[in-house]
Amino acid sequence: MTVDDYLDQARAELERVTPAEADRLRREGALLVDIRPIADRAAEGEIPGSVPVERIHLEWRLDPSSDHRLPQVDRDTKVIVLCNEGYASSLAARDLHRLGLKTATDLEGGFRAWAAAGLPVVAGGRPAVP
């Protein structure tokens, strides 16, 4: 199996969203989770209302049964994971599916597609949720 096969398998489990769809879902209450490193968020900005969670903490912060989960997360929370270009986020969203977040997905093209679409961006660099 190659990394491309692995990615294809992960994406087969997801209903990925475009930047425009993600913006609509964000305005309707979906939780956007930014797994990009702080250096990328500081350099390029962030999506308003997104929650920065380093990839190494993602499962603990979003597992609905975890004592360490974000308080706004339960099994019904619509979660959209984003990275720079939509590769690592596909793998992360697939992992969230396996933890029981069946509506978790990722942003096609990642943050850079969001910004290129002219959607809202704010100054970045906030510390991630530990």
Report the CATH number at residue 15: 3.40.250.10
pLDDT at 126: 84
Is the distance from CB of 80 to CB of 105 less than 8 angstroms? yes
- The total of structural domains in the chain comes to 1
> In terms of residue numbers, what domain contains 13?
3-116
Closest CA relative to residue 96, chosen from 70, 125, 127: 70
Q: Is residue 128 part of a domain?
A: no
Confidence (pLDDT) at 129: 82
- DSSP readout, 74-95? -TT--EEEE-SSSSHHHHHHHH
The span from the CA of 127 to the CA of 24, in Å, is 26
In a domain, 123, yes or no: no
pTM: 0.94
Over residues 38-46, mean pLDDT: 96
Query: Is 121 inside a domain boundary?
Result: no
Residue 129 lies in a domain: no
Alpha carbon distance 26, 28 (integer Å)? 5
In a domain, 122, yes or no: no
Token output for 23: 């913006």
